[in-house]
Amino acid sequence: MGKLLSVTMGFLLMAISGVAEPITISSYDITDAMVSGWGLWAHTYSGTITPIGVFDGSAVADYSGGSGTLNDDIIGTSASDTQLFEQGQTVQPVITLFLPGLYTIGSIILYGGPTNNIYPGVITGVTVGIGASSSAISLSPFGPRAASGQPINDFATIIGTSLQGIPTTTITLSNFTGTVFEGHFSITEIQIDSEIFVPAPEPADIWLIGSGLLGLLAVSVMRKPRVAI
């Protein structure tokens, strides 16, 4: 029983914590970025913002040389602290992330939101560029769910792809695809990890896992043979 209890608690701890080592994003550039303020969506950026036009009623600009909402270590919960993007034939955003040194990448996490909006994250694919190489990578969803029932956060595992083991100081993200409303999607934070990211399950999922494992523990106790005296 003691061994099974140890395994149970170990599994629960593994489920509660993600296995990853975050890498700092020093700054980032964006081409074809929707500027802050459209439709009550707001984000910050400390670098140069160069207007390039107006598409579908929203101003679009190129961002360069700064930091802001996407790397401020804050996972926003509303439209007022989340950056909205548009992906279409005319507007095709490219996000370039700059790292403080040379790193090999394990995972890329895109935190979307908010859950109560028609423009959640829900990104299913992205082209990742590392060094001179690039690869279209499918994203795996996790975290809280939007009204549609889909998790709003997504992560890409680099391990096992053609990009694995390539040291780099920059990463580009482009060709975003997914279940986006009218070509829009949102990102509140980007995280880069040196290892494979293991997302922590939602509290309800943790309860189900814990209940199931404790149930197995109870069955084990009931089946333990009694010693005759």
Span 156-211, pLDDT tens digits: 999 999 999 999 999 999 999 876 566 788 999 999 999 988 887 766 554 444 44
Identify which has the larger pLDDT, 139 or 8.
139
Token match 């690869």: residue? 135
> For residue range 9-56, what is the model confidence (pLDDT) as tens digits?
444 434 444 556 799 999 999 999 999 998 889 999 999 999 999 987
**What one-character-per-residue DSSP string does 99-136 give?**
EEEEE---EEEEE---TTSSS---EEEEEEEETTEEEE
Q: Which fold has domain 20-200?
A: Jelly Rolls (2.60.120)
Q: Where are the domains of the chain?
A: 20-200
Q: How big is the chain, counted in residues?
A: 229
CB atoms within 10 A of CB 140: 16
**pTM of the complete model:** 0.80
Nearest residue to 32 (alpha-carbon basis) of 56, 63, 57: 63
pLDDT of residue 224: 52
From CA 31, how far away is CA 96, in angstroms rounded? Answer: 9
The H or E element spanning position 52 is strand 48-55
Token match 């034939």: residue? 89
pLDDT of residue 72: 97
